[in-house]
Amino acid sequence: MTVGNQGDTISSGFWTDLFLNEMFPPGVPSTGDYYWWTWSLDPGYSVQFSQVVTNNEVETWHMYGLTDSYGEVTEENECNNLAGPVDVTWYGLPDLVIDDIWVSNSSPFMDEYIDVTVTIRNQGGPIDGTFRTDLYYNRSTPPPPYTPGNRSFSKTGLGAGESYYYTFYNISYQSPYLWKMWVYVDSWLNISEDNENNNIGGPVSIFWKERPISDDYGWPIHPSNQQHAISGTFMEWRSTGDYGHHFHDGIDIPASENTPVYSVSAGHTQFVTDQSGDTVGLYVDKFLYYHIKDFTMPQDGGWVNSDSLIAKIQTNHLHFNDGQNQEEVNPLREYGITPFTDNINPIFYSNPITLREDDPNVGGWDGGADGAIIDKDSVYGNVDIIVHAKDEIDAGRRVGLYAISYQICDQDCWPLSGEILNFVFDQWESNYYVNFIYADTFDYIITNQITSNGYWNTTGWSDGTYCLRINAYDIVSFYKKFVLKDTTKLNVAHCFLEDVEVKNGGNHNPEIEGHLHCKYPYDECNECIKYGQEFVLEITATDPDGDSMYYEWYADWGWFIVDEETTYCDTIAENFITYLAPSFCPPGYDELSVTVHDVRGGWASTEGYLGVYDLGTNCLCGDVNGDGSINSADIVCLIDYLYKGFLPPYPLEKADVNNDCMVKGDDLTYLINYMFKGGPPPECGWICPSQKLVESF
């Protein structure tokens, strides 16, 4: 900063101040963040001032310079002493994130093409270098760095706050499958970023469908062109019968005993027996009719026409399959049984979400999701999300869902991840996998895949509050959303929201802010502590996990007053305690310590030093020479001690006028500023951390 004199000689001296960040222009008198004294300045001459400044925040400063800031000089023009504002924008490191992954069709047929558009955003400082973004068609877990994707692109440069989008065209797949698609920006770590843990987007579910190989068919109970009730859906969890835990491989149509059953297609017949050898079912072509009797054909291999009477219901419902030999498909799917609609929303039970530690042995014939239950206010590690939900096709009849998904959102429920859709019940899977999906009836382990274990890896997320959004679909709502892209009348129990608090690593130690200080009476604490004085000490601490804390206090010479009794140590729930200074220790010190504990075993500790003196000691803060007042002689005395080797003031603490527990040049500046520039009054460090006392006193 350069200050010039375009008038007469200045011989009286003046201040020049630098204001780093001011909302409004400073007036006279004002004290800046940095200031310089100039003794004189001749006409036509100038003086320069330099100062190195730093900032750890991402922000824009409005910087001003003001000369003759206290009006020491009488000038011809008093209105041209201010310069600015000069705007200085402080940038942090770049921070690349995936803003959006848009898919042209998330439920395509397997011979179709889709396009995927990725939007990336730089929410940090500007980027000059080149970075790579990879698209991964199908992964069960997020991709690690340096892993090539199926497709990729490179981008050079991206300004602070700028976004960029790129479209991957003509993506296809030749088999029916459920993809989990991910995108990784700066996947090869070419850019040093402020946060390297938020570069991955996904998963986005892509459901590749097989084109139908048959036309719609009617109902196996008359009237066949009208919808009938449904009491059991495809791929429900079952524990009845002789099979143990298993999937329900068809649908149940409730009807009274002896209700006639009709074939939905023409074809050859094949009888089906139960484990006792009784004939209880019949295949016509690929369709199975089960729990039936009174067959109308005498033997296997016969031919029946479509809509022919084939048998009667044996109990209280007809079990109906579309497919055989472990190739069963959902009869209620698109191009299945018709007419069919579902006008009742899926339903979440009361308190439907349970979080458990991920059980890596889940699945197979083991029970599902056996990990320890996790408190939703303290979520950590790999987590299983279990959701208790059901569907109703007919009022009062609970049945299984068609699909269920989850999404990680911020605490305002804005999505931070794609919709993670692991379960779509379109085709049958081996009963071996039943425990990957179900923890119990209608309890879905939605973080697993149908045939493998999975989890929500919270270690990839910063600590904080997140909202879990759960979408439960029936068939109608699923096809409206993913095939027809019509959500105007979406029949879905969606957006069940549950707040959870992620605390990775399980627990963090409490954090102590500052050091021990006097809470009450403050005025007495601004003079040194006298023998036998009583006042309240306080420590300020926070717990990063939000856990409850308690405080363990210890005094070397003095006492604490707890419940009207004195003790040299105690553990209490409060962060403050009444202290009674000793009356017999050597003048000059008492050692205190406080340890802050959280309820999960974390702790932090600090020690404090108190200057304790007899009743006749002069303890006026800033009265360095001990004459009973604060004046220029105290400045001289402090200079003599700091720079000329004179004896220290007694007690030394009253020279610590800026209360940083050290006596050095900053205290001299502070005292000068108080006496001559209207700065704040002295405030001495009578209670100091022990380590700092060693460094300074």
Measure CA 144 to chain center.
20
Would you tell me how many other CB atoms lie within 10 Å of the CB of residue 522? 12
Asked which of 49-63, 134-148, 356-370, 451-465 is least confident by mean pLDDT, the reply is 356-370
Name the pairing type of β-strands 464-473 and 403-410. Answer: antiparallel
Collect all residues with Cβ–Cβ distance below 8 Å to 329 and sequence separation of at least 6: 234, 322, 323, 336, 426, 427, 428
Alpha-carbon distance of 605 to 431, in angstroms, equals: 56
Cα-trace Rg, the chain: 39
Q: What are 411-461's pLDDT values in tens digits?
A: 877 778 778 888 889 888 888 888 889 888 899 999 988 888 888 888 777
Amino acid at the residue 410 = D
SS3 250: coil
State residue 370's pLDDT score: 67
Closest CA to 591 of 551, 542, 537: 537
- With cut-offs at 50, 70 and 90, classify the pLDDT of residue 529: confident
Residue 491 has pLDDT above 50, yes or no: no
Residue 670 has pLDDT above 50, yes or no: yes
Alpha-carbon distance of 291 to 279, in angstroms, equals: 9
- With cut-offs at 50, 70 and 90, classify the pLDDT of residue 483: low
Q: Which pTM value belongs to this model?
A: 0.52
State residue 591's pLDDT score: 79
Region 641-646 average pLDDT: 87
Region 320-329 average pLDDT: 89
Strands of the 492-502 sheet, one edge to the other: 420-424, 403-410, 464-473, 492-502
For the ranges 205-209, 248-252, 518-522, 648-652, the maximum mean pLDDT occurs at: 248-252
- Residue 529, φ and ψ in degrees, nearest 5: -80, 130
The answer to whether the beta carbons of residues 474 and 481 sit under 8 Å apart is no
- With cut-offs at 50, 70 and 90, classify the pLDDT of residue 504: low
Length, in residues, of the chain:
697
State residue 369's pLDDT score: 62
Residue 587 has pLDDT above 80, yes or no: no
Measure CA 117 to chain center.
25
Q: Is the peptide bond before 108 cis (omega within 30 degrees of 0)?
A: no
SS3 672: helix
Asked which of 103-112, 312-321, 559-568 is least confident by mean pLDDT, the reply is 559-568
Closest CA to 165 of 123, 102, 113: 102
- With cut-offs at 50, 70 and 90, classify the pLDDT of residue 148: very high
- With cut-offs at 50, 70 and 90, classify the pLDDT of residue 19: very high
Measure CA 429 to chain center.
35
In the numeric block, which tokens belong to residue 511? 């954090």
SS3 572: strand
Percentage of the chain modeled with pLDDT above 90 = 37
Alpha-carbon distance of 231 to 255, in angstroms, equals: 10
Closest CA to 35 of 663, 622, 680, 677: 677
Tell me the average pLDDT of the chain: 84
Within 13 Å and on the Cβ side, how many CA atoms surround 227? 14
The answer to whether the beta carbons of residues 183 and 118 sit under 8 Å apart is yes
Q: Which element (helix H / strand E) includes 693?
A: helix 690-696
State residue 533's pLDDT score: 77
For the ranges 473-487, 528-542, 661-675, the maximum mean pLDDT occurs at: 661-675
- With cut-offs at 50, 70 and 90, classify the pLDDT of residue 372: confident
- With cut-offs at 50, 70 and 90, classify the pLDDT of residue 245: confident
The CA distances from residue 572 to 147, 550, 578, 621, in Å, are: 53, 6, 12, 32
State residue 185's pLDDT score: 96
The answer to whether the beta carbons of residues 644 and 687 sit under 8 Å apart is no
State residue 597's pLDDT score: 84
State residue 480's pLDDT score: 67
Q: What are 267-310's pLDDT values in tens digits?
A: 889 999 888 888 899 999 999 999 999 999 877 888 899 999 99
Alpha-carbon distance of 220 to 309, in angstroms, equals: 9
Alpha-carbon distance of 436 to 444, in angstroms, equals: 9
State residue 281's pLDDT score: 93
